[in-house]
Structure 1
Amino acid sequence: MTSTGRGEDIKRLASKALSKGYQLTESSIKILLERKNPDELLDRLLSWIKSSRPGTILIEPGVVMDFLRTIDGERPPEEQVAKTASFRIKSTSYSDVWIEGSTEEFRLYFTVRYQRIREIFERRGISVYSPSELREQGLKEAYIIGMVSEVRAVKNGYSVVVEDPKGVWRIIVPKGDRNLEERVEDLLPDMVVTMRVRMRASVLVAQDILLPDVPPVPQRRLSGPDVNVCIISDIHVGSSRFNEELFNDFLEWLSSDEDEASKTCFLVINGDLVDGVYIYPGQENELALPSLNKQFEKASELLKKIPERVTVIYVPGNHEPVRKALPQPPIQHRYRELLGQHNGLVYVGNPAWISFDGIEFLVFHGQTLDDVIQSGSRFSYSTIHRDAAALLEFVLRTRHLAPTYGVVTPLLPLRDDPLMISEVPVVFATGHIHVAAQSLYRGVHLVNTGTWQEQTKFQASLGLEPTVGTAAILNLRSMRLSIKKFG
């Protein structure tokens, strides 16, 4: 094929994808061109993305390779099938993502966030405008949408600065309506929100503030398998504060004939299986096992006690030796070798979308909960043992796992933005903050799974009181979610 012919093929495939709402990178197109019938293959790829990767806009090489594995008959580890019930890993591994670090990448990242959340509002039947359109069309009152840039108190209320692709705008929120004032106090930089505003002498005055939120999840018929999914997090093997006795109680229970234990066929480890090294100030003084190798070897010894009927799915957290920026890939192969292949361990990225017999779980270690706590005035570490469920509800309602950008947790500016909560999960599970909590919001089960590590000196300095020795258990038939306490 001549270079001219290949160039025309690249343009043809790019135009075809664009006409259907997708953007193919040149590297992705070249992969398709190496196969027979690339046009037909592209059609199959787009159909697969629509069903398996909803919300994907930018098609990078990793997505294409995942698709090709499915049609070539390969089965990656994350697509194994349990012995008693089916499950499917819907998210990618995030192993092959890359960025250049350019200003343009960040501009596109925030533009995509704005556009996708705007679509959520429009699906709710809310007609939203840019503030510039109010002036152009002479509208006196309407819903406007923007990304929050600044919130500050002024003499008679609050000044909220929002941005959109057309400019920067200031909205005044007057005092007097306590409900409205509370909504303003919840606003964080980079959140995309809608405001009902009224034009008063060229000043935009807020009448209401709306988050993207989630619609009610339909109640599931009680016809699923009588199987339990157990979720734990923050074990911290290797820490001198790791409560091995309680964890062994949990493992003993998991292997027992007790009714709830015998029904448990899946165990999700939602981050921080090991304590890692150099994670927080003074950690070296609280390590019982000072090297990662020894920590994973000890973890392997513990995981051997898990019965064979249980499929273990391992999501990394901030203490694992993986990329700290979100999204995170699974742990590296050299550490997998130290863990061994207990029960066909399934390694996934963070966050992970997992479907258990059609029940959608969004499993996220929860690093960005720190960003939310430290950015606003509503939540604090000293009271998070009471407010953890409200914190998860807030994040869900923003429809983004990182509502505010770059306070503590590094994020990769990926145009596909896997931290968007594009779909509505049935279960939203987090860890990281070491507090056990659960609630139900519009049919979505919210759960934070506590920890197996006693309070560290660093946590004590923050006033954080951990919930030690807890596991969340959800039955796929009854949809009953409970937190089991050990010790």
Structure 2
Amino acid sequence: MVLNLIQTLIKEGFLIDSSLKDFLLKIPEDCLDTFKEILFSLNPPQLISRTFFQENSEKFSTLFTNKIINFPDSEKKRNLEALKELFLSSFIKKEVSPSLKTPKKKEKSVKEKTNSPRNKLTILSAPCIDNEKEIEVADFVAYFRDRLKYLKTILENNTELENLTTINKISSQRQNISIIGMIYSINHTKNKNILLEIEDLTGRISVLIHQSKEELFNKTKYLVLDEVIAVRGSGNSEIIFANDVFFPEVIKQKKSFIAEEEIALFTGDLHVGSNNFLEENFTKFVKWINGEIGSEKQREFAKSVKYLFILGDLISGIGVYPGQEENLVIKDIKNQFIKFIELISDVRKDVDIIIIPGNHDPVRIAEPQPQFEGDYSKKLYLMENVYVLPNPSVVNIGISPETQGVNILLYHGYSFDYYHLNIDYLRLNRANERPEFIHRLLLQKRHLAPSHSSTLYIPNEKDNHLIRIIPDIFATGHLHTSSVANINNILCISASCWESRTDFQEKVGHMPDPCKVPAVNLKTGKVKILDFS
């Protein structure tokens, strides 16, 4: 009985907000133990309130999903799925926090726009961190601890981890054992085996992966520093000999769609202000969206376009790389941005334009990158169909009590450079020209930038690069290459660019693939690559 659950919580010293009563009374009886287990895994405060559920809605959603997949098709599974939907409809945050409002009173905030008549776009995650806070060592500690704690919760559900324990509890006697921890170091022995150092909150231990275990050894090519993994093997307090390694991989059990025939376009890396900006091609793209050019069939297709995602690097910026000023036709950031606004102002007004910044844009480069500020961006916020979000962010299209809608994870992709240059497997496969290799890696890690040096970031008590909300679409830019891949039932998209090959790209051997635009049918999941070159 639900009353027994409430009584149990009270008996254990918790207070229950009266506003939760309606929700608690609707929990199916055979789901009570599971709900209690999930609740306790999140270390609830003494007063369990609606705010606690709202602030942890992402974690609850993930934990519900992890529990659901452990049950075969059964009444309990169906009840858990119903409970998850009830939870999301009751507590998921459908508004952006006040910190996302633009500083000018007359400017339209994202929150206000989300309450527009269309109201199909919901911001699920848009992290903001105070620019003025002084960073301390404790911030890095909290940042990595949050990652370890969150991913450990996911890995613990793996039934293959026998005798799971913490490092400090491993005895000196040889035994079969499993641990979950963060990779502190990766080394090769003289016999060409892999020697890892793994640490958790209680200590650090060596883990040997022998090359004779071919299937296991093959997994080592994906290992990166600072990621969280689980290891099963045998050993003692000195060393563990690994028999298998497990990742907290993001897997979508079932694809989600919306009921209406609507198209979402994904682009980015315009680099307005560059000598190489392909303005004529971009203008052609905008005219096509507006139904001004193209065949009758193409114009009919364009009418279905309702969303345009621009994934950072709107402008070229100044001083981003050595000698950049020689490649600029507009040498002032403010004027570059004004030109960008002028270009997208021509997009028809029933198309929602969702924008995140990139490393060339006029915000701090450290992630999460905030919204644009300053007078130069004021006009952007006054546009009724424009939503400016931090990088990274997660949005949903079409969520309601009846449907899950489509979750879209947006990330510019600055960390991608690190991985295609430092991971042998990715470098040999030319991942800078095949972004799906990096998409697969990051989904496996459940993290957008797991290695400390892979991107500049501001540490916080919450690791904002964790993939906490399972996406239906994972969209990135930065590499100037268009690609589409279905990985773990997740549609992974790399947006193209609107800049031809620069002298700098030629020096580093990078060949861009400009003017390609992936168009996703949100009702069917089908993708077309549109070419405006």
Unaligned runs of at least 5 residues, structure 1: 1-13, 25-38, 57-61, 69-73
Asked whether the 8 Å contact 1:235–1:273 carries over to 2, the reply is yes
Which of 361, 371, 383 does residue 330 from structure 1 map onto? Answer: 371
Alignment deviations for residues 278-313 of structure 1 (CA, whole Å, 9 cap, x no partner): 111221111110001111121122112201111111
Identity of aligned residues (%): 25
Partner residue, 2:80: none
Which of 374, 394, 397 does residue 353 from structure 1 map onto? Answer: 394
Hey, what's the Cα distance between the residues in 2 that align with 1:110 and 1:375? 21
Unaligned runs of at least 5 residues, structure 2: 1-13, 18-38, 63-94, 102-106, 292-297, 399-404
Asked whether the 8 Å contact 2:252–2:470 carries over to 1, the reply is no
Partner residue, 2:32: none
Hey, what's the Cα distance between the residues in 1 that align with 2:348 and 2:261? 18
Which amino acid counterpart does residue 315 of structure 1 have in structure 2? I
Partner residue, 1:166: 202
The alpha carbon displacement at 1:166 in A equals 1.4
Alignment deviations for residues 195-254 of structure 1 (CA, whole Å, 9 cap, x no partner): 22222795311112221102333133x652111111111111011111112111211111
Structure 1 range deviating more: 111-120 or 96-105:
96-105
Which of 191, 195, 212 does residue 231 from structure 2 map onto? Answer: 195
**1:306-385 matches, cutoff 5 A:** 306-339=347-380, 341-357=382-398, 358-380=405-427, 383-384=430-431
Which of 108, 113, 116 does residue 142 from structure 2 map onto? Answer: 108
Asked whether the 8 Å contact 1:78–1:346 carries over to 2, the reply is no
Partner residue, 2:50: 44
SS at 1:327's partner residue?
coil
The alpha carbon displacement at 1:23 in A equals 8.7
The alpha carbon displacement at 1:176 in A equals 2.0
Alignment deviations for residues 331-353 of structure 1 (CA, whole Å, 9 cap, x no partner): 11423225463343211111111
Alignment deviations for residues 145-177 of structure 1 (CA, whole Å, 9 cap, x no partner): 221111111122121111111112111111223
Partner residue, 1:300: 341
SS at 1:387's partner residue?
coil
- Report the CA distance shift for 1:425/1:133 in structure 2 as closer, same or farther (over 3 A): same
The alpha carbon displacement at 1:93 in A equals 5.0
Hey, what's the Cα distance between the residues in 2 that align with 1:326 and 1:381? 28
**1:220-299 matches, cutoff 5 A:** 220=256, 224-256=259-291, 258-299=299-340
Asked whether the 8 Å contact 1:270–1:315 carries over to 2, the reply is yes
- Aligned residue pair count: 447
Which of 441, 454, 460 does residue 394 from structure 1 map onto? Answer: 441
Asked whether the 8 Å contact 1:293–1:335 carries over to 2, the reply is yes
- Report the CA distance shift for 1:48/1:173 in structure 2 as closer, same or farther (over 3 A): closer
Partner residue, 1:456: 502
Hey, what's the Cα distance between the residues in 2 that align with 1:248 and 1:67? 30
Which amino acid counterpart does residue 411 of structure 1 have in structure 2? Y
> Is residue 253 of structure 2 the alignment partner of residue 217 of structure 1?
yes
Asked whether the 8 Å contact 2:286–2:347 carries over to 1, the reply is yes
Q: Normalising by structure 2, report the TM-score.
A: 0.76
Which amino acid counterpart does residue 51 of structure 2 have in structure 1? L
Alignment deviations for residues 256-279 of structure 1 (CA, whole Å, 9 cap, x no partner): 162321101111111011111111
Partner residue, 1:27: none
Hey, what's the Cα distance between the residues in 1 that align with 2:380 and 2:141? 41
Hey, what's the Cα distance between the residues in 2 that align with 1:314 and 1:145? 37
Asked whether the 8 Å contact 2:268–2:477 carries over to 1, the reply is yes
Q: Post-superposition, which runs of at least 4 consecutive aligned residues in structure 1 deviate over 4 A?
A: 14-24, 52-56, 62-68, 81-85
> Is residue 528 of structure 2 the alignment partner of residue 482 of structure 1?
yes
Alignment deviations for residues 388-423 of structure 1 (CA, whole Å, 9 cap, x no partner): 11111111110011111124x211111111211112
* Coordinate RMSD, CA, aligned: 3.3
The alpha carbon displacement at 1:84 in A equals 5.2
Hey, what's the Cα distance between the residues in 2 that align with 1:173 and 1:381? 22
SS at 2:492's partner residue?
strand
Partner residue, 1:96: 130
